[in-house]
Amino acid sequence: MTETASYDLQCLGVSKNYGAVRAVRDVSFDIPNGSFFSILGPSGCGKTTLMRMIAGFEEPSAGDIRIKDRSVLNTPPNRRNVKMVFQHLALFPMMNVYENIAYGLRCNRMSKAEIERRVSDVLARIELPDVADREIHQLSGGQKQRIAIARCMVLDPDVLLLDEPLGALDLKLREAMKIELKLLQHQFNTTFIYITHDQSEALVMSDYVAIMNAGRFEQIGTPQELYHKPKTAFVAGFVGDANRWPCRVVEAFGTTLRVETEIGLPLTGVACGRNPPMQAGAHGELFVRPEFIRAERVRTDGSPERAGPLNVIPGIIDSQLFNGAKSRVLVRGPQGMRIEADVTLTGGEEDLRPGEKVELSWPAEQTRCFAAAGSATGADPGAEPA
């Protein structure tokens, strides 16, 4: 978020209460022109509510929403140049494809010829030039998806909102549409705001992602920032997979911590999250991603050489989850503690097998420690409904 020029969309301290339910709390952000911005968060965290305020279907309880630097609080939804792709698309079943796309143009009282030109233009751009006369129910899921986007894009919106548009599609199609959506956004070069609770969708497609939890934005950043430099425990746990262990800080050297897990296992990690850094005795939670954990057969000829500070623990393979390039083993560590580690399984002799003893090791800098909720320096991002 470095750009300082004009913004397509800005939210300033936006909140929304439904009676006692605080659905959205003091959310502020601004989106640079032409970027793909995702809002990622668990179900019920307020994503839809925020989007509906931007579209004008709800009025914020507090705060301001600006589109192209002008407040739109007093603009009714049909006057805002913010278009929306609904979760179930909301294509009009009683109109055919052409009429669906032409609807918005007709509302603008455009001439017939002009409408025709624009519709065929947008259909060409979404690579469905021949479907104009089809009925909606004659389209496949992916085609419907694209028509819903075309219906908005033909109106040249300042911002396009997409509320979990892939939710209704099946697995394979969803994978394909992820890449397609990103390409479409490049095509139109319009600001997309994309809502989802599926992290892989958000990470793969977005320029920027906001992680939302219980009505608040926890962190905004590029996908890499969120994945590799999470600022809160919630983000660390929500984005990507992670082994999570509660722990207690034994000693702190700057941000480097010596900690002990619940079962007394001593590990080295780095303090993350909000300042000030954690002190000895503080309670925290450790996050380690499976892909950073190396699982190696215990060798009889002494341990291998290692570079840098490492955490090393022994374990026994419980089971392997073969999934091609994304395979994983479940390892039982000391005192039954369960650890997931990514491995490559080739089907050959060298594969780890259930029952084998292994040594697990991972770098200390990939052992993130966040203050526990309620602890001295920890922030509590939990919900307080009512």
Partner 1 sequence: MRSQRDIRRLSLFLLLAPFALWIVLLVALPQLGMLFLSLREKIAPRVYEYGFANYVSFAGEPIYWNTLLRTATMSLLVTALALVIGFPVAYYIAKIAGRRSRGALFLLILIPLWVSDLIRAFGWILLLRETGVVSSLLQWSGLVSGGIEFLYTDATVVVGLVYTVILFMIVPLVSTLDGMDEAMIEAGYNLGGNGFTVLRRIIIPYAMPGIVSGCIVTFMLTAGSYLTPILLGGKNSSWFTAQIYDQFITRYNWEAGATFGVLLLAFTSVVVWIGLKLSGQSLSTTVARS
Partner 2 sequence: MSARKSPSLMLIGYRLYIAAFFVFLAAPLVAAGTFAFNDSLFPSLPWQGFTLDWFFSATEPKLGMFHDRRLLSGLYYSFVIATCVSALSVFVGTCNAFLFVRHYFPGKNALYVVMILPLVIPGVILGIALLVLASTIANSLEQATGIELSFLRPGIVLVVLGQFSFIVTIASLVIVARLRKFDMAMEEAALNLGASRARVLATVTLPYLRPAMIAAGIVGFLVSFENFNTTLFLVGSEAPLTVIMYDRMVKVGSTPVLNAVSLVLMLGSGVLALVSILVQRDRSPS
Ligand X SMILES: Nc1ncnc2c1ncn2[C@@H]1O[C@H](COP(=O)(O)OP(=O)(O)OP(=O)(O)O)[C@@H](O)[C@H]1O
Task: Single out the segment in contact with its own copies by CB under 8 A; choices: 105-113, 258-266, 316-324, 372-380.
Answer: 316-324
> Phi and psi for 265 in degrees, rounded to 5?
-75, 125
Kindly state the smallest distance separating residue 58's Cβ from ligand X, in Å: 8
Q: Which residues contact 233 (CB under 8 A, 6 or more apart)?
A: 273, 285, 287, 370, 371, 373, 378, 381
d(C-alpha 89, C-alpha 182), whole Å: 18
Q: Which stretch binds its own copies (CB under 8 A): 9-17, 61-69, 82-90, 237-245?
A: 237-245
Counting every residue, how long is the chain?
A: 386
* Shortest distance, position 25 Cβ to its own copies, whole Å: 23
Specify the residue for token string 């075309």. Answer: 150
Using Cβ positions, the residue closest to ligand X within the complex turns out to be: 48
The contacts of residue 147 (CB under 8 Å, 6+ apart) are 89, 91, 97, 100, 101, 126, 128, 131, 136, 139
With respect to its own copies, which residue has the nearer C-beta, 186 or 297?
Answer: 186
Chosen residue from 43, 74, 108, 189 binding ligand X by CB under 6 A: 43
Partner interacting with residue 136 (select from partner 1, Mg ion, partner 2, none; CB below 5-8 Å by kind) = partner 2
CB nearer ligand X, residue 51 or residue 358 = 51
Q: Does 228 bind its own copies (CB under 8 A)?
A: yes
**Per the structure block, which two tokens stand in for 221?**
């950043």
332 binds its own copies (CB under 8 A): no
**Smaller CB separation from ligand X, 15 or 145:** 15
Q: Which residue has the tokens 């929306």?
A: 84
Instruction: Tell which positions 194-213 bind its own copies, by CB under 8 A.
Output: 197-200, 203-204
Helices (H) and strands (E) in the chain, counts: 8, 20
Partner in contact with 235, chosen from ligand X, partner 1, its own copies, none, beta carbon below 5 to 8 Å by kind: none
Q: Least Å distance between CB 368 and ligand X?
A: 26
* Contact status, residue 86 vs residue 144, Cβ threshold 8 Å: no
169 phi and psi angles, rounded to 5 deg: -90, 160
Lay out the site mask for its own copies across 125-164 (x = CB under 8 A, - = otherwise).
----------------------------------------
Torsion of CA 188, 191, 196, 202, to 10 degrees: 80
Partner whose footprint covers residue 137, from partner 2, ligand X, Mg ion, none (CB < 5 to 8 Å by kind):
partner 2
Q: How far is the CB of 82 from partner 1 (least distance, A)?
A: 8
Minimum Å distance from CB 214 to ligand X?
A: 9
Contact between 110 and its own copies by CB under 8 A: the answer reads no
| Residue 48, contacted partner among Mg ion, partner 1, its own copies, none, CB below 5-8 A by kind | Mg ion
As given in the structure block, the two tokens for residue 120 are: 């065929």
155 binds, among partner 1, its own copies, ligand X, none (CB under 5 to 8 A by kind): partner 1
Is position 335 an interface residue for its own copies (rule: CB under 8 A)?
A: no
To its own copies, the closest distance from the beta carbon of 106 in angstroms equals: 36
Could you give the CA distance from residue 362 to residue 60 in angstroms, rounded to a whole number?
A: 46
DSSP-derived secondary structure letter, 282: -
CA angle, corner 352, sides to 349 and 353, nearest 5? Answer: 95
The β-bridge partners of 12 are: 64
Q: Report if residue 75 touches its own copies, rule: CB under 8 A.
A: no
Instruction: State the Cα–Cα distance between residues 6 and 303, nearest whole angstrom.
Output: 57
23, 101, 272, 317: which one contacts ligand X (CB under 6 A)?
23
Omega prior to 276 cis, within 30 of 0: yes
> In the window 18-57, what residues touch Mg ion (CB under 5 A)?
48
Give the max Cα distance, the chain.
82
Name the residues that contact ligand X, by CB under 6 A: 18, 21, 23, 41, 43-49, 197
